[in-house]
Structure 1
Amino acid sequence: MLKEMNEALNYIEENLESHIDLVEVAKKAYCSEYHFKRLFSLLSGITIAEYIRRRRLTLAALDLKEQHVKVIDIAIKYGYQSPDAFSRAFQNFHGVTPTLAKQPEQNLKAYPRMSFQLTIRGGFEMNYRIVKKESFQVVGVKYAVEMVNEILSPTYEDMIAGVGESRLKELATISNGEPHGIVHISVNYSESVEGKATFEQYIGAVTTEKTETYETLAIPSLLWAIFEIDGDWIQVEEHWQRIYSEWLPLSSYELAEGPEILASKEQKSEIWIAIKKKG
């Protein structure tokens, strides 16, 4: 899988001066566009669109050091519709305008090309099971979340505070299905060409009870990889990285389009990811 991801990055690098079709990029990695976008974001910490933007602006800065080059030519070369749009993006990334960037001693940023490598770490066990689960219902509080430059809006702390302690306790009492306890569910993940990612975040419980107090999310029948984690939801960030960078590449499965679930109860957590057989 890592070799295929690097083939996709090679394709991007070779086409930074032309239109990059992410469907074609995903084909290089032998996976769906959704799978590629989500996997890249989880492994690298940024969206694929943001990565392409940073690489293009890095090369644009080098091009601007040429004596007779025009800003408008560089803007067109890297896919910007106007010099103004290019200048805004350039200044947001480098901190200076393209015109100032042409000065010999001006400091600029460089974002090196990325590659994926398999790193052998300490021998930590990963306890997991593969489960086929029929459709079920989650009720809870829903947030529309944006991620720009790795920053969530609203932040997760704000979301938890918005739910409040009393509603968290109420949701925990109506939990009567697996995964048990309070569940944190990310669904409908998408990315824009500007590098912004959006998704819906539910904080709630799996239940068969009817309620008009909360939002309802219907989750279809899916195959799940379920990982057992010590600690509550605050302490599991490293485990997400290990699942996607260590377990998934070596398994016979790939991501399926579906929610990502974190269930937390009594200092134990479970991470649920929707999967399907490769090929």
Structure 2
Amino acid sequence: MIAWLNRLVDLVEESLTEDLDVTRLAASVGTTEHHLRRMFSSLAGMPLSEYVRRRRMTVAAADVVSGSQDLLTIAVRHGYGSAEAFGRAFQAVHGVTPGEARRDGGPFRTQPRLRFRLTVEGEHPMDVRIVSRPAFRLAGHAARVPLRHEGVNPAIQEHVAALAPQEHVRLKALGDAEPHGLLAVSTDLDPDRREGTPLTYLHGVAVSDAVEVPGDLDVIPVAAGSWAVFRAAGPYPQTLQTVWAATATEWFPSNPWRLRPGPEVVAVLERADDFSTATVELWLPVEPA
């Protein structure tokens, strides 16, 4: 995986002045766009689209300062249809307009070219199993919430807290399929998983076709396929978020699986009364790489 990530960086560099065709780039390094975006974002600490934007503006800064060409010519060379669109992108990265940068010689926020290297970690074995599941449904209460990578998500916390205690009991009685128990489901995520972007969060259970789902519940159909199931226990949600990150930095690089489209599911197996600690399973949809 390290090799194709570095090949991806090379391909990005070769096409900085063109519209980024992520599907084509993914195919050229032998993976899928879905998996590529998730792995790049997790390992680089920024979305692929953000890295491309920063690199494009880093290269463009040299043209702006040189003063040898007008801003419209520079904008077109770097893939923008107008000097205004280029100026907005330039200021978003560097904090100054192209005109100010040309006049003052900066300042610039340079994005160095990335290079991925293998670091040997994994001293703590990951508790994971591969499960093959037929198609099933997720039923419960859904809401659109912003993505948050670290700490408690207030929007999710508010959504779940608004449910009456008897509603949790009703949902648990409805579930008859694996993953078992009450589930925290994330789907419709931004491809680059940018902080603050909206996703659909569902608090519910897994049900088979034999279950008649009440009309007041939201339903998410889930296709048949394989799942990587990671089990973890400790402070919540920190332990879960650590495991989520480790799937990208440790597990996927050393196993012949890749992510496929589908919801990401957290099953809470045990928890403290105040939810400060919990034992959870993280279900990620996967396919052979």
Fold conserved between structures, TM > 0.5: yes
Secondary structure in structure 2 of the residue aligned to 1:231 = strand
* Range with bigger deviation, 36-45 or 5-14: 36-45
Say if 2:46 is the partner of 1:46.
yes
Letter of the aligned partner of 2:218 in structure 1? E
Secondary structure in structure 2 of the residue aligned to 1:19 = coil
- Of 237, 242, 253, 2:241 maps to 237
Query: What is the CA deviation profile of residues 239-263 of structure 1, one whole-angstrom value per residue up to 9, with x for unaligned ones?
Result: 1111112111111212222221122
1:226 is displaced (CA, Å) by 0.4
Say if 2:21 is the partner of 1:7.
no
In structure 2, the residue matched to 1:270 is 281
In structure 2, the residue matched to 1:27 is 27
The 1-side partners of 2:200 and 2:217 are apart by 15
The 2-side partners of 1:72 and 1:196 are apart by 33
The 1-side partners of 2:119 and 2:25 are apart by 24
Query: What is the CA deviation profile of residues 144-195 of structure 1, one whole-angstrom value per residue up to 9, with x for unaligned ones?
Result: 3566xxx68xx93112212325447623552333223332222234549x99
Compared CA separation, residues 171 and 138, structure 1 to 2 (3 A) = farther
Query: What is the CA deviation profile of residues 191-210 of structure 1, one whole-angstrom value per residue up to 9, with x for unaligned ones?
Result: 49x99965433232224452
In structure 2, the residue matched to 1:179 is 179
In structure 2, the residue matched to 1:170 is 167
Percent same amino acid at aligned positions?
29
- Unpaired segments of 5 or more residues in structure 1? none
Say if 2:266 is the partner of 1:255.
no
Compared CA separation, residues 197 and 34, structure 1 to 2 (3 A) = farther
The 2-side partners of 1:202 and 1:255 are apart by 20
- Kept in 1, the 8 Å contact 2:58–2:111? The answer is yes
* Range with bigger deviation, 239-248 or 163-172: 163-172
Secondary structure in structure 2 of the residue aligned to 1:64 = helix
Secondary structure in structure 2 of the residue aligned to 1:41 = helix
1:141 is displaced (CA, Å) by 2.6
1:111 is displaced (CA, Å) by 1.6
The 2-side partners of 1:94 and 1:124 are apart by 40
Say if 2:225 is the partner of 1:214.
no
RMSD of Structure 2 on Structure 1 (CA): 2.6
1:81 is displaced (CA, Å) by 1.3
- Unpaired segments of 5 or more residues in structure 2? 271-277
- Kept in 2, the 8 Å contact 1:141–1:214? The answer is yes
Compared CA separation, residues 197 and 215, structure 1 to 2 (3 A) = same
In structure 2, the residue matched to 1:98 is 98
1:122 is displaced (CA, Å) by 5.4
In structure 2, the residue matched to 1:88 is 88
Within a 5 Å distance, the mapping from 1:143-162 to structure 2 comes to: 143-145=143-145, 156-162=153-159
The 2-side partners of 1:263 and 1:229 are apart by 11
- Kept in 1, the 8 Å contact 2:227–2:284? The answer is yes
1:79 is displaced (CA, Å) by 0.9
- Kept in 1, the 8 Å contact 2:185–2:203? The answer is yes
Compared CA separation, residues 25 and 127, structure 1 to 2 (3 A) = same
Compared CA separation, residues 169 and 128, structure 1 to 2 (3 A) = farther
Say if 2:233 is the partner of 1:223.
no
The 2-side partners of 1:85 and 1:195 are apart by 23
1:109 is displaced (CA, Å) by 0.8
Compared CA separation, residues 4 and 223, structure 1 to 2 (3 A) = same
Query: What is the CA deviation profile of residues 1-31 of structure 1, one whole-angstrom value per residue up to 9, with x for unaligned ones?
Result: 1101210111101111223321221023201
